[in-house]
Structures are given as structure tokens and as C-alpha cells.
């Protein structure tokens, strides 16, 4: 089971790294477009193109910062930790799906099984946190029964 936690952790790291790489690439492209625009434009067209490139760079910088925050959150997780109550870094098996409490990274597939990577601050993350096998809760008119926590 510890291998499962390590694999889910690695999948989350890959997800975050892909987001960081995409944002950095978009920043580089916007900065290059801005530089290229200064060489071939004049007047208002130049100012408009430069402003659009700046806005694009700013938007992608925000995405890069968000991805960095996710990476910091992941770095606080010990994927080898063992626990019987749901907390950050835990895998929780329920009757309505399996959850990895780490960062919001969507559905991760490991060994043919799907796991929802959720943030501890998300609605489902908050409901799961601190709970043990046997606990039941309702969320969005759906009843969840925790089968196992690792």
C-alpha cells in the first residue's frame, strides 16, 4: 500500500510539473512575441501588442505561482507515512470512489484503479479529514462510507 501512496504522490508531482512547464513556456512565448513586436511595429499597434503580451505574461505568471504553491504543498507530504485516519497524504477508499488527499489534480490512474486527487481544503477533503474506516457522511446528496484509510 505504501507503493500506492508513492505512485499517487509521483502522479501529483508530474501533474504540477506539467502545469509549471506549460506556464513557463507560455511566459517565454509571450515575452518573445513582445520582443518581436517591438522590432516590427510602430505607434498604437505597438503599444497594443505590447500590452497584450504583458497581460498574457502576467496571467501565466499567476498560473506558475499557483503551480508553485501546489508543489510546496506536495513537498510537505511524506508518501511513506502510515496512518489509520484520513489526513493530507492519505488514500481513502469509499463506496463512491477512492481519494488521495494531497492537491487538486483530478483523476489519477494507478494499476488500473482511479483515484481522485483532492485538496484537504476542498469540500470532500474537509469531510474526509480526521475520519476513520466505518465513518459515513453525506455530500451533494450522496452518502459516502469510508471502507479503508491508508
Would 85 be classed as within a structural domain?
no
Instruction: Indicate if 8 and 48 belong to the same structural domain.
Output: yes
Q: Are strands 106-110 and 136-139 parallel, antiparallel or unpaired?
A: unpaired
State the pLDDT at residue 29. 87
For residue 112, the Cα-to-chain-centroid distance in whole angstroms is: 21
Measured CA distances, 4 to 10, 34, 108 (Å) = 10, 45, 11
Give how many domains the chain has, as a whole number: 2
Q: Range with the lowest mean pLDDT among 41-45, 58-62, 77-81?
A: 41-45
Residue range(s) defining the domain that contains residue 16: 2-75
56 contacts: CB under 8 Å, gap ≥ 6 = 26, 30, 33
Confidence of residue 142 (pLDDT cuts 50, 70, 90): very high
Edge-first strand listing for the sheet containing 113-118: 106-110, 113-118, 97-101, 91-94, 142-149, 136-139
Instruction: Indicate if 71 and 99 belong to the same structural domain.
Output: no
Average the pLDDT over 105-122 and give the result.
96
pTM: 0.84
CB neighbours (10 Å) of residue 49? 17
Measured CA distances, 97 to 93, 100, 107, 143 (Å) = 6, 10, 10, 11
- Our CA angle for 65, 50, 45, nearest 5°, is 155
Of the residues 46, 75, 104, which one is the last residue of a structural domain? 75
Amino acid at each position: 500500500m505504501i507503493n500506492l501512496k508513492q505512485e499517487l504522490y509521483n502522479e501529483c508531482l508530474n501533474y504540477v510539473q506539467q502545469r509549471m512547464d506549460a506556464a513557463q513556456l507560455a511566459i517565454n512565448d509571450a515575452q518573445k512575441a513582445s520582443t518581436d513586436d517591438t522590432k516590427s511595429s510602430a505607434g498604437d499597434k505597438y503599444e497594443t501588442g505590447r500590452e497584450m503580451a504583458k497581460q498574457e505574461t502576467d496571467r501565466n505568471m499567476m498560473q506558475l505561482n499557483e503551480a508553485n504553491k501546489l508543489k510546496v504543498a506536495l513537498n510537505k507530504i511524506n508518501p511513506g507515512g502510515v496512518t489509520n485516519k484520513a489526513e493530507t497524504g492519505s488514500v481513502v477508499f469509499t463506496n463512491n470512489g477512492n481519494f488521495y488527499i494531497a492537491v487538486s489534480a483530478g483523476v489519477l490512474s494507478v494499476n488500473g484503479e482511479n483515484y481522485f486527487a483532492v485538496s484537504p481544503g476542498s469540500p470532500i477533503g474537509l469531510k474526509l479529514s480526521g475520519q476513520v474506516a466505518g465513518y459515513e457522511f453525506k455530500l451533494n446528496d450522496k452518502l459516502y462510507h469510508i471502507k479503508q484509510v491508508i
